[in-house]
Amino acid sequence: MLFEVWAPDARRVGLQWAGGRSGEPVVPMERDTARAGWWRAEAPARDGDRYAFRLDGGPPLPDPRAARLPDGPGGPGAVVDHSRFTWRHPWPGRPLPGAVLYELHIGTFTSEGTFDAAAARLAHLAALGITHVSLMPVCPFPGTHGWGYDGVAPWAVHEPYGGPDGLKRFVDAAHGHGLGVVLDVVHNHLGPSGNCLPAFGPYFTDTHRTPWGAAVNLDAPGSDEVRGYLVGSALGWLRHYRLDGLRLDAVHALHDGRARHFLAELSAAVDELAGQLGRPLFLIGESDRNDPRTTAPRARGGHGLHAQWNDDVHHALHTALTGESHGYYADFARAPLAAVAKTLTGGFFHDGTYSSFRGRTHGDRLDLRTTPAHRLLAYTQTHDQIGNRARGDRLAAGLSPGLLACAAALVLGSPFTPMLFMGEEWGARTPWQYFTDHPDPELAEAVRAGRRREFAAQERAARGTPGAGAAGDDAPVDPSDGWPDPQDPATRDRSVLDWNEPAAEPHTALLAWHRTLLALRHTTPALTDPDPSATRVTYDERARWLLLRRGPVRVAVNLAPRATAAVPVGATGLCPLAAWPAPCLPDGDGVLRLPPESAVVLGP
């Protein structure tokens, strides 16, 4: 077997066996004469053999490209023979147009927190009408439980979840249910604990800074190999694990001053692989820039990503539903239904407009005539928007079932690719909080203190008192303040879905409502029509009703808590295709009398 590693500054490199072969001698590696900075060695090995690399006689370090780290970050890698896995279900792929995504965290989707336990629940998603499961990161991170965004090995799979074979079993099971699988990957930073990459080469650079420290090296000396490292990781997920797409975390934090942006290089490689494999593959970026270039074709100067998250839809709907107006919600809250209307018809709310949160103009106009609407993802809840709240409270913690039904009708009736966060379909009331499992006491305490400062700032902003309470921000976490301790195992346990909820009201009714809406979306062409002229929105800010028109289909919602809304649907011969809590018809003048906190979908 050929072992290779990039270590440009090393004077000598050795292959160190571990585990059952730890008594065997170190295998000297030779410089690769064809590739500067690379070392290689041929050695007999089989699936499961553990190994590490030693640089200049130093301690054993994990292979940066190890597909498995049985002992977690910092430990030796293990050989993975991908050809040994037997796939049961042929998979032609499932493209993004017409998709409905479901964001899922393996560690809290079930109490067991494993791939196999999650796979046992996939029939629920297929029956719901989901097309793609979007997994949060599964690369190795410290401890057992965490969000996964502090992973340290972009080629490997978290062992407590089930390792590489566990992920393959999950993907194979999903394909058996007709579900595609998308994986969240993090290219903008790596976690601080167990990160050995700096010992091998210039994977990071001080040329740029990020909220997580030194930036990944995409444009400084040595960046050719770093870019290749990340592109190779991405292609490996798609090829070896038969994934359908990748969600790229915080691409706005990828600092790249080169003529060809890393994202364009990555999207070109993924498109090429799709052609080789003969099945559709796609990339979904998370970006807060509202930049049309993110999804614009490479031939037109764009980065060529196939879609992006659209937080503006979330912010507009969130302010309309909750009335929150602090932080980045401020601009949306001035006229929330107008903000909803703008995002549903134009994609971005901030499209060159002034952002009071940023203190400057933000974004650029997105032309939906040239950018298909499915390239934007719409949602009312995500791991970020729930988990980064001080108490991890979902919308269901503060909204009535009627308002939750209205939110679902607008997202699932929108022209964009909808996404649900796990449990949203039944109005789950379990929180989803920020939790970590750092074994390093100093790092654990730093995380506690950092979250305390964030929570304090959130509460001051919500109260409208920006300076209050700042003196105690650096104090140790006090359990009496009600903020969850990220390191307390109970924080993770509270965040696990309660699968008994769907059997009780109002969860049962909300689940049925989501199933009805998803069935309509899959069977009603108007709801996935890419023509932007087919989408129109009218609303009454004061009366709190909104009407979304998708061709001949009308989605009407009344967000008012007590008043019946008179909604001019503007057509005759319409009948209810779906209704919460009960069907209602327009009168002879085409006016729909919609009860408080209710929704209806009308069609010919």
Q: Domain ends where: 61, 91, 111? A: 61
Residue 77 and residue 94: Cα distance in Å, rounded? 33
For residue 250, say whether it is annotated as part of any ligand binding site: yes
For residue 313, say whether it is annotated as part of any ligand binding site: yes
pLDDT digits (tens, 9 = 90+) for 151-197: 999 999 999 999 999 999 999 999 999 999 999 999 999 988 889 99
Q: Domain ends where: 61, 81, 103? A: 61
List C-alpha distances in Å: 181 to 134, 380, 383, 447, 581: 6, 21, 17, 31, 33
Query: Any bridge partners for residue 377, and if so which?
Result: 309, 417
pLDDT digits (tens, 9 = 90+) for 519-569: 999 999 999 998 999 999 999 999 999 999 999 999 999 999 999 999 999
pLDDT band at residue 57 under the 50/70/90 scheme: very high
For the CA atoms of 516, 517, 519, 523, what is the dihedral angle to 10 degrees? 130
**Has residue 85 got a pLDDT over 80?**
yes
User: What are the catalytic residues?
Assistant: 249, 286
Residue 505 and residue 508: Cα distance in Å, rounded? 5
pLDDT at 180: 98
Residue 426 and residue 511: Cα distance in Å, rounded? 4
Tracing tokens 């597909």 back to the chain, one arrives at: 67
Task: Look at residue 378 and tell me if it is in a domain.
Answer: no
Percentage of the chain surpassing pLDDT 70? Answer: 97
Query: What burial letters (b/e) apply to 589-604, b meaning 16+ CB within 10 Å?
Result: eeebebbbbbbbbbbe
Average pLDDT over residues 406-417: 98
Average pLDDT over residues 330-334: 97
pLDDT at 479: 46
For residue 235, say whether it is annotated as part of any ligand binding site: no
pLDDT at 106: 98
Helix (H, G, I), strand (E, B) or coil at 133: strand
Task: Look at residue 334 and tell me if it is in a domain.
Answer: no
Q: With helix as H, strand as E and coil as C, how does 183-197 read?
A: EEECCCCCCCCCCCH
Helix (H, G, I), strand (E, B) or coil at 354: strand
pLDDT at 268: 98
**Has residue 354 got a pLDDT over 60?**
yes
pLDDT at 207: 86
Residue 347 and residue 328: Cα distance in Å, rounded? 17
For residue 13, say whether it is annotated as part of any ligand binding site: no
Helix (H, G, I), strand (E, B) or coil at 355: strand
For residue 317, what is the enclosing H or E element? helix 311-322
* Nearest Cα residue to 313 out of 548, 94, 514, 529: 548
Residue 196 and residue 559: Cα distance in Å, rounded? 52
Domain that includes residue 51, residue range: 2-61
pLDDT at 465: 52
For residue 89, say whether it is annotated as part of any ligand binding site: no
**Has residue 572 got a pLDDT over 80?**
no
For residue 467, say whether it is annotated as part of any ligand binding site: no
pLDDT band at residue 450 under the 50/70/90 scheme: confident
Which residues make Cβ contacts (< 8 Å) with residue 533, sequence separation at least 6?
none
For residue 82, say whether it is annotated as part of any ligand binding site: no
Please give the full DSSP string across 553-564, using - where no structure is assigned: EEEEEE--SSPP
Least confident of 36-45, 237-246, 494-503, 563-572: 563-572
Which residues make Cβ contacts (< 8 Å) with residue 411, sequence separation at least 6?
313, 317, 378, 379, 380, 418
pLDDT at 141: 95
pLDDT at 24: 97
What number of other Cβ atoms are within 10 A of residue 36's Cβ?
11
Tracing tokens 């729909």 back to the chain, one arrives at: 592
For residue 251, say whether it is annotated as part of any ligand binding site: yes
Range with top average pLDDT, 205-219, 473-487, 501-515: 501-515
261, 303 contact by CB (below 8 A) = yes
What number of other Cβ atoms are within 10 A of residue 29's Cβ?
23
What is the distance in angstroms between the CA of the first residue and the CA of the last residue of the chain? 64
Residue 112 and residue 161: Cα distance in Å, rounded? 9
For residue 387, say whether it is annotated as part of any ligand binding site: yes
Residue 495 and residue 111: Cα distance in Å, rounded? 9
pLDDT at 204: 95
Percentage of the chain surpassing pLDDT 90? Answer: 89
Joined tokens for residue 135: 């997994």
For residue 174, what is the enclosing H or E element? helix 163-176
100, 419 contact by CB (below 8 A) = yes
pLDDT digits (tens, 9 = 90+) for 455-502: 887 777 777 754 433 333 444 444 446 789 999 999 999 999 999 999
Residue 185 and residue 198: Cα distance in Å, rounded? 20
pLDDT at 469: 35
* Nearest Cα residue to 574 out of 589, 595, 558: 589
Residue 53 and residue 573: Cα distance in Å, rounded? 73
Residue 53 and residue 68: Cα distance in Å, rounded? 15
Report how many domains make up the chain.
Answer: 2
For residue 312, say whether it is annotated as part of any ligand binding site: yes
Joined tokens for residue 60: 């054993």
**CATH number of the domain bearing residue 587:** 2.60.40
Q: Domain ends where: 17, 43, 61? A: 61
For residue 175, say whether it is annotated as part of any ligand binding site: no
Task: Look at residue 170 and tell me if it is in a domain.
Answer: no
Average pLDDT over residues 130-140: 98
Task: Look at residue 422 and tell me if it is in a domain.
Answer: no
581, 569 contact by CB (below 8 A) = no
pLDDT at 481: 63
407, 317 contact by CB (below 8 A) = yes
For residue 195, say whether it is annotated as part of any ligand binding site: no
For residue 187, say whether it is annotated as part of any ligand binding site: no
Task: Look at residue 462 and tell me if it is in a domain.
Answer: no
